[in-house]
Structure 1
Amino acid sequence: MRFRAAIADPATAGPAATAGPTALDRALAFPAGGPVAGPSADRIREEFAEHRFRPEWTWFAEDGDGRPLARALWWGRADSERPVTLDCLQVAPGVADPAALAAALLGAGHAAFGRRPGHHLSLPRGWRDDPALAGAVAWRREAAARAGLTREIERLRYEWTLPRLPLGGPPAAGTAAPTGRLVFREGTDEEFLDVFARISRGSLDLATRYELESLTEEELAREDFEFYRDCPGERSWWRLAHLPDGTLAGVAVPSATPYHRNVGYLGVVPEQRGRGLIDEVLAEITRFHASEGAGRVTATTDTVNLPMAAAFDRAGYEVTGIRLVLEAPPAG
């Protein structure tokens, strides 16, 4: 058994290294079916073309005859130096112990990358009720845990779509009108760092709570700030939320992915929680995206964060599925 990326190491490759199938060919050739299906051929081609799937991030487990038995596709942004997430993990039918083979494949990839990117599984709501699907998730969870991805977060995936409007209608129609309960304005980097730190206190977001086990509020605020600043959205979109008397209430960070507009980051400071102000913040983000011509806005929240889920429901966002995140805890 051997584990390798779809591109040979140029330092050790012989003259025949470029004679065989390309990384894209090999990625496309692996069976993509099963309860947890792999990405479509069209999506694989698009991701390779946009440099989000790459040969060095496309790994296979092969038997002694070179037959691929498992495939792992890691994903990153076009400008990423290293992969950000594991997008797809599949094992060929008939493998006796898929968890063991997949764990070894992940371990080989992690060693090459010098890090352990998390695995994001896109699942339908109620996936536990389907025995075949639950079984396919189970061996992936076991493989991920063996490879060090021992922390799990389950999130609801939401989507807001612009209602059909008469031709020439206002661009933000279909969104909630401002109520005047909050005033939104631009802010300095220092102001956003402060509000990010304050919002982390008492957060129901599991990732935030996990991170605060090893980071201070200020350190986490810096990480969050840099993450959203580096997302495809613009820093100029960000807004601080204040009460009409100038009291800080929260933050609205509209963002984007390489595919569509996204809610990004939002929250209310602890002393203003319980007053329904999160509805105002979410409405501001949705209005902003709609005014920019976005007909689709996505978002996620942890399944345990019931107040945030209720806010998305009230705002007309619909649940489109589950994102199961398997990730490594902080080193040490």
Structure 2
Amino acid sequence: MEFRSAAADPAHLDRALAYPVEGPVPAFTAEKVREELASNQMRPEWIWTAEDEDGEILARALWWGRADSERPGALDCLHVRSSVADPASVAAGLLAAGHAAFGKAPDYNISLPRDWRTAPGGLAEAVAWRQEAAYKAGLTREIERLRFEWTPAAGTAEPTGRLVFREGTDEEFFEAFTRIAAGSLDLHTQNELRTIDAEELARDDIEFYTDCPGERSWWRLAHLPDGTLAGLAIPSATPYHRNVGYLGVVPEQRGRGLIDEVLAEITRFHASEGAERITATTDTVNAPMAAAFTRAGYEVTEIRLVFETSSE
């Protein structure tokens, strides 16, 4: 078995794009991959294949990153031919080869319908071997997330006056991020805090959202009318659409429904800018956040399984 990228040989890139995708897990079309290549969000060196001794492509992995990224940020497509007896082992070898070349192990995201565990057509089985491959390749932490979407038909809530939103300095946002991390139900936050402190996590979060396509000028601090800090609202964007980047309420103000006010501010901001779609994600175990999205008119469009390296 030979694992290699499509970077060295244009003919191999064409063969990789023509790979006949099989199975129930969705895949990018060749046209979509070419669009991503043109925007530099996929690159030949991020497209990897596994070939047998006869040169037949048995598996393909497509990693994705931002246009200005040095390395890919996530694995978006992983497929193995149905004729392969042990797809998990072939896929794991393919991921390991890519990880070695990248110098890191990007997360692996699988987008699925809400009923994927019971859906006909072998979807659960197709996810199972991908899960096994991810674990074998070192992506041993699994998080299941809900992907929500808002459209203008859902409308926006009017301000209630319970919170006042204003711009803030980097130092003020650093403090807010640090305080909101305490007691968070977000699994990524919980996992990170096992190995780093809240201050380091706040710096990482600020760097991440600063690098997102959204503007820093969109960020808002949330205060009670008397000036007490209540939380923050980070409207953001992907290369494709507007999204809810980050939002939170400080621990001492939780349980009062203020998260609805913060989410409404983000939604109003994007809507005022003409957004036709706003996306958001939260962990399936974060029931309060999921309920807030539902109250705000966001609808679940898919389940996203995320496999990442464990820092423990």
TM score, norm. by length of structure 1: 0.92
**Cα displacement string for residues 205-240 of structure 1 (whole angstroms, at most 9, x for unaligned residues):** 000000000010000000000000000000000000
Task: Find the aligned partners of 2:16 and 2:166 in 1 and give their Cα distance.
Answer: 47
Q: What's the counterpart of residue 4 of structure 2? A: 4
Q: After TM superposition, list the pairs within 5 Å mapping 1:177-256 onto structure 2.
A: 177-256=158-237
Task: Find the aligned partners of 2:95 and 2:148 in 1 and give their Cα distance.
Answer: 29
TM score, norm. by length of structure 2: 0.98
Question: Structure 1 residues 22 and 146, CA, compared in 2 at 3 Å: closer, same or farther?
Answer: closer
Q: What's the counterpart of residue 53 of structure 2? A: 64
Q: What's the counterpart of residue 52 of structure 1? A: 41
Task: Find the aligned partners of 1:22 and 1:281 in 2 and give their Cα distance.
Answer: 49
Q: After TM superposition, list the pairs within 5 Å mapping 1:1-332 onto structure 2.
A: 1-8=1-8, 17=9, 21=11, 23=13, 25-130=14-119, 132-163=122-153, 174-330=155-311
Q: Which amino acid is 2:21 matched to?
A: A
Q: What's the counterpart of residue 167 of structure 1? A: none
Q: Secondary structure at the match of 2:117?
A: helix
8 Å CA contact retained: 2:2, 2:50: yes
Task: Find the aligned partners of 1:150 and 1:178 in 2 and give their Cα distance.
Answer: 43
Identity of aligned residues (%): 72
How many residues get paired? 311
Q: Secondary structure at the match of 2:153?
A: coil
Shift of 1:130: 2.3
Structure with the greater alpha carbon radius of gyration: 1
Structure 1 stretches (4+) deviating beyond 4 angstroms? none
Q: Secondary structure at the match of 2:34?
A: helix
5+ unaligned residues in a row in structure 1: which ranges? Answer: 9-16, 165-173
Task: Find the aligned partners of 1:26 and 1:182 in 2 and give their Cα distance.
Answer: 56
Q: Which amino acid is 1:255 matched to?
A: S
Q: Which amino acid is 2:4 matched to?
A: R
5+ unaligned residues in a row in structure 2: which ranges? Answer: none
Of 41-50 and 107-116, more deviation after overlay is shown by 41-50
Shift of 1:22: 5.3
Task: Find the aligned partners of 1:94 and 1:5 in 2 and give their Cα distance.
Answer: 22
Shift of 1:31: 1.5
**Cα displacement string for residues 27-75 of structure 1 (whole angstroms, at most 9, x for unaligned residues):** 3211223110211233212111101110000000000111100000000
